[in-house]
Amino acid sequence: MSEGTWAKLCQDAGLRVVFSELQPFKQPDLNWYFDAANTSPENRARVLELIRTAPPEARKHFRLGEEDGKIVWWWQRLVLAALKA
């Protein structure tokens, strides 16, 4: 969901957003996620194939790459603080 959508949800719940910021957040190791989620070998292979064939726009948007043999990517993390209105 977008930053604006979260702000609207807060407002609809009677909250007032006092701070909202998108922050780039690096995901340092895809295999860690696979292991933590107990991802099946079939699903791992499918995800790796999707990464291998990802369009340039997606690679650029997520800063998809490899560092020290690990698949890394970035996404936007929303930090939001709201008070009861």
Site of tokens 């291998």 = 52
8 Å CB contact between 18 and 82: yes
Q: Domain of 41: which CATH number?
A: 3.40.50.150
What's the confidence (pLDDT) of residue 69? 93
Number of domains in the chain: 1
pLDDT of residue 50: 95
pTM of the model: 0.69
Residue numbers of the domain that contains 55: 3-84
What is the torsional sign of CA 9, 81, 77, 24?
positive
pLDDT band at 1 (very low <50, low <70, confident <90, very high): confident
What residues contact residue 57 under an 8 Å CB cut-off, 6+ apart?
A: none
Question: Can you spell out the DSSP letters for 29-73?
Answer: -HHHHHHHTT--HHHHHHHHHHHHT--HHHHHHTT-EEETTEEEE
